[in-house]
Amino acid sequence: MVLKRITYLPGCLLLLLLLTFVGCMPAAAQYDNVFFRLKPAGQKGLLLYQAGAYEKAIPHIKQAIEQQSSDLFMLMLAHSYALTGKSHEAVRLYRQTGDPHQLEAKHLLAYTLCLQSLGRTEEARGSFQAYLGKLGETTVVAEDLGKSDLYRTAIRYSVHPLSINSRQHEFAPVLTKEGILFVSDRKKGGIVKRSFSSHVTDLDVYKAEARSNTRFVNYTRLEHEVNSNLHEGPASQDTTGNLYFSRSERGGQLSLWLAKSLSGQTGWRQAEKMQVPAAGNLFHPAVSADGSLMYYVSDMPEGMGGTDIYYSVLQDGEWSAPVNAGPRINTPGNESFPVLQGNKLYFSSDGRIGLGRLDIYEALLSGTTVLHVRNMGAPVNSPEDDFGLVWLPDGSGGYFASNRKGSRGGDDLYRLDYHVIHLEGTVLDSTNQKPLAGARVELQNPDGSTRQAVTNDAGAWGFTLYPGENYKLTIEAKSYRSRTLNYSTLQGKQYGKRQYAVALERRTKIFVLGNVRLPDKKRAAHTQVIVYDMSGGKPDTLQANERGSFEVELDTESSYSFLFGCNAMGSVAEFTTSARTDASLSHYLNIDLSEQQRYTVAGRVEGADTSQPLVLWLTNSISNEQQLLWPENGRFSFEASSLAGYELCLQQGGKNRTLYLNQGWKQPQREVVLRLE
């Protein structure tokens, strides 16, 4: 991949993660002369290796080993193979030198990344732990996920190369209204030469117009206000069009530059160097939409690894001193290519166990505080280098760069499409197949959260789903039986629209007529009646007339609980209907009231661990309602009615105990004991 390997070599930090691609440094050109050609093979290989021209160094190092084998040349050759993507050769040579876990840190990290790119995750995990041990680290950095987790969401995405890829390198995409900005070493003037030159490297910022998701045309190199005869890019843009980018100065220093947009016009003013109070190379800027916060990469000596991500805040027109983004982002390895979008920071790292060498990660931010970091998984990440991810505003896809297998050049640009399923449903009457307006549709997501929709006049509703998941749908409508259905996206079409129709059956109504009497057989005038549908929903409340009579409409195939109350008198009755209940007839429910008793339940818990909280669920047998109690010091209490029964379910850790309290208690207090076992 372009731009990243030199950080392992002392004295060669001037190019860092920005300026070189393998075997194509301007530094290599100074050795292409008669004096260099007269040097012994070992000296040629050492000079090119130290200059970071690994591809060019390999044949000279191999020749030197053939002449006289040495551990130094073996390690140099293995490292050169590792940094040029020849993982099989690198692993073989590293093992020939002895126990790879005894290698010095830079070689051990290179060995780990080669194992990871070959898919040998468990071996890579062991060598990575050894690498951390050499650095004095005691814990694994970041999210350490297994490979199955990293592939779990692969079904949600597809990856496609862009039309503007050439035989050279294209990377670091930036979205614009017209299309895209990117960095490339292709020749100036927008003419792509298919032959690869090993002596000329010129990284510039280009622009291209979008014709489709993957087709871009009219690519041109940005004018002299941004590009120069030095290296420029990667870049970042705020909402006003100001362009932030990194540039290599003539002395080799990497710095941040700003080209302000022309008011009311396309293009930029002449770029000026940004004044960030920091010592060290600064590059790969990622600016917030309003231009007040900027993340960037640096090799400052006080960092956590080879290159770290930092941020600065714009205050009164000046940028604050760099602040390290912290250990949840930075590792003993190298972090680079940050992209800031809203409250999410995307970046690449080779200091974690992932799918390959450089993997793309997503950090969820609250301000500048890092809440969570996750590996983006496949197919965003591959066994090779992946970096520079930027999402479209609507989240439907994005763009990134990779040197994965099948790339046209070194690093290529790719389109990432986020697959979603648009479930378009209708609710119908099962009898006449007419649409039902106002039906309530609830979707339970795989994580347990829910979403709701209400059908329109055409009975239509809709949700956005993801491939490879299981969902649950509950549909309810007045006067209809509710339905709960499982819906899976594991099979079938994995993107686009799906149609789904649900038919609901009408509830058959019956009438229940009743009379309420007092203990002396007199009519209980104006008795309050509460009817609980045991399948759920709000209870119905009604009142008997002056003769103690009432009537209520119920559904068939349902169970109900009636609660009656008149002054200090009360009663409870159960009523169940079936599919065979004759709706053409009236049904009768005659009730005799008795004196009801309010009492206090006082309980204690035995066998509990005092260091852990206790949870007590209380369920009322009449209303089926649940109440959560928190016993303190092993004791609890609640008010109860003699008309109702109660279920008490006590939990603590893996222990639980259930106790049932029957109806009809006549005393003012009831003591109970729950023993955890």
Model pLDDT, residue 319: 96
Task: Please give the pLDDT value at position 410.
Answer: 81
Per-residue pLDDT, 135 = 63
Its pTM stands at 0.58
In this prediction, residue 290 carries a pLDDT of 94
Distance separating alpha carbons of residues 225 and 242, to the nearest angstrom: 12
Domain ranges across the chain: 5-140, 154-418, 421-504, 509-595, 598-675
The reply to whether domains 509-595 and 598-675 share a CATH topology is yes
Assigned CATH topology for domain 598-675? Immunoglobulin-like (2.60.40)
* CATH no., domain 421-504: 2.60.40.1120
pLDDT at 412: 93
Min mean pLDDT across 165-169, 184-188, 348-352, 671-675 is at: 184-188
- Residues 519-530 have pLDDT tens digits of 999 999 999 999
* Structure confidence at residue 602 as a pLDDT band (50, 70, 90): very high
Q: How far is CA 12 from CA 47, 253, 510, 545, in A?
A: 12, 11, 88, 95
Residue 569 near residue 596 (C-beta atoms within 8 A) = yes
| 561 phi/psi in degrees, rounded to 5 | -125, 125
pLDDT classification of 149: cutoffs 50, 70, 90:
low
If you count them, how many residues does the chain have? 677
Per DSSP (E only), the strands in 84-132 are: none
Cα–Cα distance measured from residue 299 to residue 318, given in angstroms and rounded to the nearest whole number: 22
146 has a pLDDT exceeding 50: no
Mean local confidence (pLDDT), 614-618: 89
Question: What confidence category does residue 388 fall into, taking pLDDT thresholds of 50, 70 and 90?
Answer: very high
What is the pLDDT, as a whole number, of residue 179? 92
Give pLDDT tens digits for 455-475: 999 999 999 998 878 899 999
Most confident listed range (152-166, 382-396, 573-587): 382-396
CA atoms within 13 A on the CB side of 552: 25
Distance CA 494, CA 169 (A): 33
One-letter amino acid of 135 = L
Residue 327's nearest CA partner among 485, 141, 81, 512 is 141
Q: Smallest Cα–Cα separation from 482: which of 538, 534, 531, 440?
A: 440
Homologous superfamily of the 5-140 domain (CATH) = Tetratricopeptide repeat domain (1.25.40.10)
What does the DSSP assignment read for 251-302?
A: TS-EEEEEEPBPTTSSSBPPPEE-----SS-EEEEEE-TTSSEEEEEE--TT
**E strand map for 528-568:** 528-533, 540-543, 549-555, 559-566
Calpha distance 116→16 (Å, rounded)? 23
Q: Does residue 24 register a pLDDT over 50?
A: no
- Give the span between the Cα atoms of 459 and 464, in whole angstroms: 17
User: Are the CB atoms for 161 and 214 separated by under 8 Å?
Assistant: yes
Q: How confident is the model at residue 38 (pLDDT cuts 50, 70, 90)?
A: confident
| pLDDT surpassing 60 at residue 374 | yes
Q: What is the CATH number of domain 509-595?
A: 2.60.40.10
Contacts (Cβ under 8 Å, ≥6 apart) of 317: none
Of 27-41, 59-73, 646-660, the poorest mean pLDDT is in 27-41
CATH number of 154-418: 2.115.10.20
**Burial of 183: CB neighbours in 10 Å, binned 0-12, 13-18, 19+:** buried
3-state SS, 398-461, equals EEEEECCCCCCCCCEEEEEEECCEEEEEEEEECCCCCECCCCEEEEECCCCCEEEEECCCCCEE
**424 with 497: CB under 8 angstroms?**
yes
The pLDDT confidence band at residue 637, using thresholds 50, 70 and 90, is: very high
Least-confidence region, from 187-191, 271-275, 433-437, 535-539 = 187-191
Per-residue pLDDT at 210 exceeds 50:
yes
For residues 581 and 642, the model is more confident at: 642
**With 50 as the cut, is the pLDDT of residue 19 above it?**
no
The 10 Å CB-count burial string (b at 16+, else e) for 649-669 is: ebebeeeebeeebeeebeeee
Q: Which residue has the higher pLDDT, 71 or 27?
A: 71
Q: Which residue has the higher pLDDT, 11 or 314?
A: 314
Mean pLDDT, to the nearest integer, of 191-205?
46
User: What pLDDT does residue 55 have?
Assistant: 84
Q: What is the mean pLDDT of the chain?
A: 83
315/313 Cα distance (integer angstroms): 6
Report the alpha-carbon distance of residue 44 to residue 118 in Å, rounded.
Answer: 30
Look at residue 423 in the predicted model and tell me its pLDDT: 94
Q: Which of 227-231, 548-552, 635-639 has the lowest mean pLDDT?
A: 227-231
Amino acid at 3: L
